[in-house]
Each structure stands twice: as C-alpha cells, then as structure tokens.
Structure 1
C-alpha cells in the first residue's frame, strides 16, 4: 500500500521509523532537528496514523510497504533510524537489502526484545486515562504530572516526569495512540508470540550502527538492547541513566548531540560511496 509520509529537508536521506503505538509525527524530536541538514522520510506504517489498512496484515507487509516507499521516492541508498518497533523493522530492512542502507540507528530496540513491565492494574489504567486527557488539554501541567502522571502507566514510559516529556506526549503521542488500528495491534501481537530473535543474523550487517537505550526501560530492556549492540560488528552503544522507553522525549538535547557526534565520526553512514 502507499504509505502516508512526511518528507522534510534536503540532503542525504534518512528513513525514520516509528514504534507501536506511533506515527511518523512521533519522530518529530528527530526530524525537526535532522531535517536541517538531511532529508528525513517519516512514514506512517501500515495500520498507523493516516496509513489505514485494508483488513488484516502481517509484520512482513511493513517491509514490502517500506521498500515500495523508497522506490516511489527514488531513494537508492539511505540511513535507517528506528525507535522500538521501528528499530526492529530497520534491522529487517538492513538484513533484507544490505546494499541499500548505509547506517543504522536503533532507539530503544533490540533484535531479541525482552521486557520486564510490572502487571497493569485497573488503577493504573484509570490514572493513565485521567492523566492523558488532562495532559492533552493542558500539556506539561506540573500539577497533573504530580497528581496523576506519576501514578499512571506513564511512569514506566518516562522515568523523568518532566513537563517537556509530557508536552511531547500531548503533541506526538495521543493522536498516534488513537490512530493505531486493531489490525496493527493484532499483527504485532502475533509476531511477539512467535518469539522474535534475529541475534544470529546480525553478523551479516556490515554498516556502522548506533544503539541507544534507556537504563530504566521496562518495554525493551537496556540489557536486550546491549545484547544487540554486542552482536553487531561495527556498533557504538550508549545507555542513558534515569531514563525509560521514551528517553528521546526525556533528554532530547543529549540524544541529538550523541547522534550528531556519531554521524561526524561515521561519515560513511550518510554517504552513497
């Protein structure tokens, strides 16, 4: 299917892939910055955002869609950046067509993803709903964070309960959550039940890689991200203390600086050569 996509900036292309739930807009923390020097391509995956699915689909359909998107945009070679599920899809693309991609940035992702999320109670769900509604109406309100946010499921997504992080939740998170289809949820659940594990294939990836993780991530643990980094041949690993799964919204300046530094040290990651 033709994916809805936001293309910004000029220069070497970077394909930016969001997580679940999510949309291309969820990656604005990266695209707002990187599009000043590069061309950022941020699609809504099938079943997410404005890319509405026609019935049920499999996870492999995302790869078909993304390959077709790059062909449609006449992108012969690009850098991959993926957050969470987007990182897994980026890994799959790099394994599927290694000559098409020049570098790989994984954000809170893993080739053998493991989580340690505590059980979810009804109170968790109640507080999350209240905190989310209030935050949508008044983004980053400290009172809401202190009264409802810290008692909600947001405490597992954001270790640092800051107004900035909650502003990102309001602007880039709520609409993405509401637009995530049942078909997308079912496709992901089926894939997770199959026990996804690509560690044994990572030695085939020859391009430079950057793996970033939050030390307190309950959804995809830092340990599983580090395990992935250790299996990649040309990889730099960075783990941020006191952050969780949405750490790019907690410490955006630090993350962007580290990506910048890596890009400067790995010029081949943004080169057609």
Structure 2
C-alpha cells in the first residue's frame, strides 16, 4: 500500500462514522478485524474534551462494499470523509491497520494532520504469530460466545480463553479485557467482509515498508506498543518510533496486541500526558 496518487483507485465510499463530543477533531481508525465502535476505549474518553470521528473502514462494520478493492482505497475514503465533515485539521489515532492508514494520511495530507497516536502498529510491520489450529478456532469461538453472555466468568477465561487465540492477543486475562472483547470484538469480527480481508492480505503479500518515508512526517507522534504483541511486534513498533522526527514511545510489559483493552487506564493516562505536552496537536 502506498499513498501515491498514481495508483488506480475506485470512487470514494461514503463511510459509516461514529461521532462523539465537541472540540478539536480526532480521527480514530480501527484495525482488522474491527469497526469504528471497537475504538470505544479511546473515543469514550477523548470525546469528553474533543470531537472524535471513528469510521467503519470500507468493508468493515456498516460501511458495506460490494466487490474487491485495494488497501489504498481506504485513503480515498478517509480523505473524502475529512472533506465531508469540513475537517480542516485533525489529530489521528490509529490502532494496528488504522495506524498504518494514519501514517499514510500524514504523508498524503501533511497540512491537515497535526499529530499521530500510533497503537500496536508499524511502518514495517512484522509478526511472530504461531500457526492457527482447528482447536484454536473452536476454543476462540466458545470463549467469545461465553464472554458475550458473562464477560467476567473466570471459568470461561481459564477453560477456554487462555487456550484460544486470545492468548496471542492479550497477556492479562482479566475481566476488563474480556468485557471489551465481548462488547466490541465479536461484532466487529462478524462484520468484517471477505473483500476487506483479501485487500489486507494482498497488501501484506506484496510487502510494506515505509520507514524511510517517515522523515517526511513533521508532526509530533506517540507510539504505543505491547511487549508481547505477536501480530505486530513491539520491536517493529519501536523501530517506527525511531524513524519519526518528533516521537515519544511507550512499551507496556506483559501485554499484547489488544493492550488498550488490558490496561486501559494506563494507556489513556499516557495519551493524556502526551496531549498536555503537545498542545499544538489539538489546537
């Protein structure tokens, strides 16, 4: 995926978007699988002081799309969304795939992106996820369904959760993490389309490395990583932070790819402190 406009793109899709609060705009971009509502851990907090925009990306959530598309089409959609809401400048928060799209938007629209909060993401993403077995999938389905019924059921966490794919997504199998999984993850997974999955894996197969282009990004950035992330390793995230000119980073011990759901209070506190030190990104 690249921000170069020479690529063939399809017309912009009118994305479904969740808008909360009032104030300086913060564009919040979800990962794969995901949806705008799966960013509630961030938007419910940030919307108390700012206006958050959390779209369902093309092929995710309620942004239905028929037919195949490429990853760079997300950028066309997001630029159209920014124009639709008359957003002159905005801060971008992106989780996983959303962080990659955030960096691409900062490269494409440097005059409109005031800052970046990059969560479990990288400009040269690398993972070390083990092969997935049929038993992994079965346990994950059972754990997700039982969490939906009773998120803090410790028997489910011990019996199924810790043996499911959740063991690669979280390290701290606490009720807080499972409540977010029940509330936001299951529906987002079910609403992620096959074309969206194909677009992502096609881009991954083609290779993706924007490290050397990051020097073009002048705005302040905050990079947050989970020490035990198997999907996009902490090493890859911290490598990205070293290529950004004005960047602060945090790596949280004993957490994985969904660390904002494991330790939400700590993550939100670190974001608040960064915002206080970089008031120019929200003014």
The DSSP-based 3-state class of the residue aligned with 2:111 is helix
Match of 1:261 in 2: 273
Aligned equivalents of 2:139 and 2:187: distance in 1?
19
**RMSD value over aligned CA atoms?**
0.6
**Residues 157-212 of structure 1: CA distance to partner in whole angstroms, max 9, x if unpaired?**
01100111000001000000000000000000100001100001000000000000
- Residue 6 of structure 1 is matched in structure 2 by 18
Q: Residues 10-43 of structure 1: CA distance to partner in whole angstroms, max 9, x if unpaired?
A: 0000000000000000100000000000000000
CA distance in 1: counterparts of 2:63 and 2:138, whole angstroms? 29
1:191 is matched with: 203
Alignment-derived partner of residue 241 in structure 1: 253
Q: How far has the Cα of 1:122 moved from its partner?
A: 1.7
Partner residue, 1:208: 220
SS in 2 for 1:54: coil
> Bigger CA drift: 132-141 or 49-58?
132-141
Match of 2:88 among 55, 76, 90: 76
- Give the number of equivalent residue pairs: 271
- Determine if the alignment matches structure 1 residue 144 to structure 2 residue 156: yes
1:111, 1:199 within 8 Å by CA — same for their partners in 2? yes
Matches of 2:90 and 2:172, distance apart in 1: 33
Pairwise CA distance, 1:54: 2.2
Q: Which structure 1 residue ranges, 5 or more long, are not aligned?
A: none
Moved over 6 A (4+): none
Q: How far 1:219 sits from its partner (Å)?
A: 0.2
> Which of 36, 42, 49 matches 1:30?
42
Partner of 1:40 in structure 2? 52
1:132 Cα deviation from its structure 2 partner: 1.2
Residue 108 of structure 2 corresponds to: 96
| CA shift for structure 1 position 140 | 2.4
1:60-139 aligned at under 5 Å gives the runs 60-139=72-151
Q: Unaligned 5+ residue runs, structure 2? A: 1-12
TM-score, length of structure 2 as denominator length: 0.95
**2:262 maps to which residue?**
250
